[in-house]
Amino acid sequence: MINLGDDMLIVSLQQWMVQVAGSKYAQTTPEDLFDGRLIVSVLRILDRTFFDEEFDDAVYEGKPDKSVLFLRICTKLAEYYEVIMHRDLYNSPTWNVNAAKIGRLLDVNELTKLLLLILAAATSNPKANELLKEFSPSHNVRDDLSKALSDIDGRIPRRRQSLRNEEFEASQVELNRSEVLTIVTENHKLKSRLAEMERTIILMQEKNAKLCDEAESSKGKIEDMINVSIESDKLTQKLKSYQDEMKRVFNDMEKLEMENSKLIRERKAINDALNEQNAQTKAVSSEMRTLKDNYESLQSKHYQLERERGEANNLREKYKNAEPSNCSELNFLKQKLNHYVGEISDNEIQKQKNSNLKVQLSTLKSQIEKSEDLLERETDRCNKIYLELLEEREKVQELGEQLSILKEVNQKLQESKCQSDKTIEEFDAEFNLSVLSERRESVHMQDELLSSVTDENAELKKKLAKAENDVKSTECLSRELENEKMKCDALKERLKVAEKGLEDVGTSTDRQLVNANIQNEEKNLTIQSLEDKLSKMEKQADERTSKILDLESTCDELSKVKTSTHARFEKGISDARHVIEMYESFMSTIISQDGESFRDIEALRNKIKCYERNIQYLEKKQKQMQALVEQEQRLITGNYYEMCFNLSRQLTKDDIRTFMDKQIKRIAFIDAGER
């Protein structure tokens, strides 16, 4: 079976159509095939007499929908098959294209059917060699195309004609198709050979460029080796100067560390003093709190004493004209008064103490502020010194790194000196042996010959040194060449991997485009469903707002009832106070009339207490009513918010379910496409 939804098949067909249509459609993608313009232009190139300008005008007449546009294309293609190819495309169930699916649902399978039918028409066309000249698909796509073309020949029924015409047309179609396939395979082979030749040319050019670069680099390295010996002397001098600077820096570091340790000790001492002062302030603040509490309690007592004093003065005035039987009570009241006077004097003494403590507190606060300022200054100073220390350490590290580099350079220079000394000694030994043999052979040699020999010896030494340097440089160059060859091999492997990755990315992007189209359709459907849900939610919100208005009207009624009950309670309290005042006046009249009516006074006091209890009970009831009203309001608001929360929760659950169903359908659709 042919996989009509294969991305590689669609991409290769689209590329072929772009090659046929020309550079005008060079920047088109497989998604642009749903526009229909590229297909119409290819059909017109295929047969200009059949797909003429009238066909073009009929396709785009009246700005049609995509489904109408593809329906017009499919009908004209079926006529082409019937008239020119003598095939009945309408009566073939497998290769009959559904234009509505392409236009409305953007069906990839139906689009591939249409493209394969156009390719089959191109292969049986007399211009097949020109149309399929540059078409070179991959091996898998070629197999799929050959299967599809053979299936089109077998499945699409022929129009009723004479047997000779049928046999002639079939043989002609088979010949055209065989020629087209051979041309396609030859094109593919030629392109592969061209690519290989281009790669070999590029590699040869790269090798030539590398060899030129290596020759230039070798010349530069020889010059660098000459300059290194000159720079080594300078570096030794710098080493000495750096060592002197290092000694100075180490001395400065020791001094700074000593100062830092002193500052740390001072800081610790200041911190300890501050901690002690903080402990003292905490103790003073706790004492102040206790004193404040005592002061408040004493003030309350003072107010009570003043009230009792006022009552006592009133009682004095009342009981001045009373009988001597009340003397005992008067004495008791006098004792009470004296006791209260003593407590008032104690309170005044306590007030003075509190004022002194406040003064002490203010002084302590000023001392704490000064100590905090001192601490901040000392911390800033310590931080500055610490930063200077870090800078000095960084400098020391840099100097150490430079020292290590200079030491390595010095070691290399010493090694090179030792090697040169050995070579010079060897040459001296050889030279001495040659001189002795010459003296034995010819004692009467002249001094001029000796001088010439010494000059030649020096030149030989120089030549030997140059030869050694050349040997070393050549060895280094050979190593670098090997390394660069290894790098080139690694780069070739990376290029192969990158090409494979690019192919995978191309296929994945095509699949992603198809998936994106499907996702867009799903998103449009979800948007419509969400709009319906929003309209429903708005209706529900209107209903809830009407309910809230009803609840607010009930709350207003309850508040009115509350205010009426509050007014009633206030009236009752005022009546009770009026009664109490009446009883007090009655008591005063009784006391003025009869001195011995204490029992009646006590009874009246008991009645007053009963009235006060009733007043307290009414006040408690009022508070309970207020609490009940507040609870009702909280319950109303809580129920409303619960209703809103449950609604939003249900909506989110529905959205999640719909989203999961769509995802499951999408995964099933992708799995079916891959199968």
Tokens representing residue 438 in the block: 């010459």
Taking residues 20-39, report their average pLDDT. 83
Q: Tell whether the model's pLDDT for residue 440 goes beyond 80.
A: no
Per-residue confidence (pLDDT) for residue 186, from 0 to 100:
66
Q: Which residue has the higher pLDDT, 290 or 21?
A: 21
CATH number corresponding to 7-160: 1.10.418.10
The predicted structure's pLDDT at residue 578: 72
Contacts 24+ apart (CB under 8 A), 318-324: 318/588, 318/591, 321/592, 322/591, 322/595, 323/595, 323/596
Residue with tokens 């898998």: 140
More confident residue, 274 or 427: 274
Q: Residue 15 pLDDT > 80, yes or no?
A: yes
Supply φ then ψ for residue 52, to 5 degrees. -90, -165
Q: What is the mean pLDDT of residues 580-592?
A: 59
Closest C-alpha among 127, 130, 102, 134 to residue 12: 134
- 598-674 and 447-593 are packed helices; what angle lies between their axes, rounded to 10 degrees? 140
Is the pLDDT score of 183 beyond 80? no
268-311 pLDDT per residue, tens: 877 787 777 677 767 766 766 776 676 677 667 667 767 777 76
Chain segment 309-327, per-residue pLDDT in tens: 776 677 666 655 554 445 5
Q: Note the pLDDT of residue 435.
A: 46
pLDDT of residue 18: 86
Q: Is the pLDDT of residue 169 over 60?
A: no
Annotate 431-454 with DSSP letters as a single string.
HHHHHHHHHHH-TT--HHHHHHHH
Residues whose CB is less than 8 angstroms from the CB of residue 123 and which lie 6 or more positions away in sequence, other chains included: 132, 149, 173, 176, 177, 180
> CA-CA distance, 213 to 98, in Å (whole number)?
64
For 203-261, how does the pLDDT look when each residue is reduced to its tens digit (9 = 90+)?
776 776 777 777 677 667 667 766 766 776 777 777 777 677 777 777 777 777 787 77
Query: In 3-state terms, what secondary structure has residue 78?
Result: helix
Angle made by CA atoms 645, 650, 652, in degrees to the nearest 5: 95
Residues 6+ apart with CB under 8 A from 51: 40, 43, 44, 76, 80
Please state, rounded to an integer, the average pLDDT across all residues of the chain. Answer: 71
Conformation bin of residue 501: beta by default, left when phi > 0, alpha when psi is -120 to 50: alpha
Q: Which residues contact 543 (CB under 8 A, 6 or more apart)?
A: none
Question: What's the CA gap between 2 and 94, in Å, rounded?
Answer: 12
Q: pLDDT by residue (tens digit) across 526-543?
A: 667 766 766 776 777 677
> How is the chain split into domains, by residue range?
7-160, 204-440, 533-675
Contacts of 236 (CB under 8 A, 6+ apart): 406, 410
Q: What is the mean pLDDT of residues 172-197?
A: 63
Characterize 428-443 residue by residue with b for buried, 16 or more Cβ atoms within 10 angstroms of its Cβ, and e for exposed: eeebeeeeeeeeeeee
The C-alpha atoms of residue 58 and residue 68 are separated, in whole angstroms, by: 11
DSSP state of 85: S
| More reliable by pLDDT, 413 or 76 | 76
pLDDT at 566: 65
Tokens describing residue 557: 């009624």
* pLDDT the model gives residue 163: 39
* Tokens (6 digits) for 639: 């129920």
d(CA 270, CA 372): 10
Q: How many CB atoms lie within 10 A of CB 669?
A: 12
Q: How far apart are CA 643 and CA 637, in angstroms?
A: 10
Rounded to 5°, angle at Cα 433 from 428 and 437 = 145
Positive/negative CA dihedral, 36, 41, 45, 47: positive
Only one residue has tokens 């220390």, namely 389
Structure tokens at 359: 């003064």
Q: Count of alpha carbons within 13 Å of 516, Cβ hemisphere only?
A: 7
614 CA to centre of own chain: 69
Q: 59-104: per-residue pLDDT in tens?
A: 887 777 888 888 888 888 888 888 888 888 887 878 888 888 888 8
What span, in angstroms and rounded, lies between the C-alpha atoms of 196 and 204? 12
- Binned at pLDDT 50, 70 and 90, residue 585 comes out as low
Strand partners, 158: 87
Alpha carbon 395 to its chain centroid, in Å, reads 39
Lowest mean pLDDT among 41-55, 81-95, 130-144, 578-592: 578-592
Here the tokens at position 15 are 């590329």
- pLDDT given at position 38: 85
The pLDDT-based confidence of 162 (bands split at 50, 70, 90) is: very low
The arithmetic mean of pLDDT across residues 595-624, rounded, is 73
β-sheet bridge partners, residue 87: 158
Work out the percent of the chain whose per-residue pLDDT is above 90: 0
Tell whether the torsion through CA atoms of 590, 592, 593 and 599 is positive or negative: positive
For residues 305-315, one letter each, b for 16 or more C-beta atoms within 10 angstroms of the residue's C-beta and e for the rest, the string is beeeeeebeeb
How would you class 361 by CB atoms within 10 Å of its CB: exposed for 0-12, middle for 13-18, buried for 19 or more?
Answer: middle
Q: Which of 266-270, 358-362, 589-593 has the highest mean pLDDT?
A: 266-270
pLDDT of 413: 62
Residues with Cβ within 8 Å of residue 431, at least 6 apart in sequence: 453, 457
Residue 158, SS3 per DSSP: strand
Tell me the CA distances in angstroms from 422 to 455, 461, 674, one per residue in order.
Answer: 20, 12, 77
Rounded to whole angstroms, the Cα distance separating 12 from 2 reads 15
Cβ neighbours of residue 270 closer than 8 Å, sequence gap 6 or more: 371, 374, 375, 378
Q: 86 — phi, psi (to 5°)?
A: 55, 45
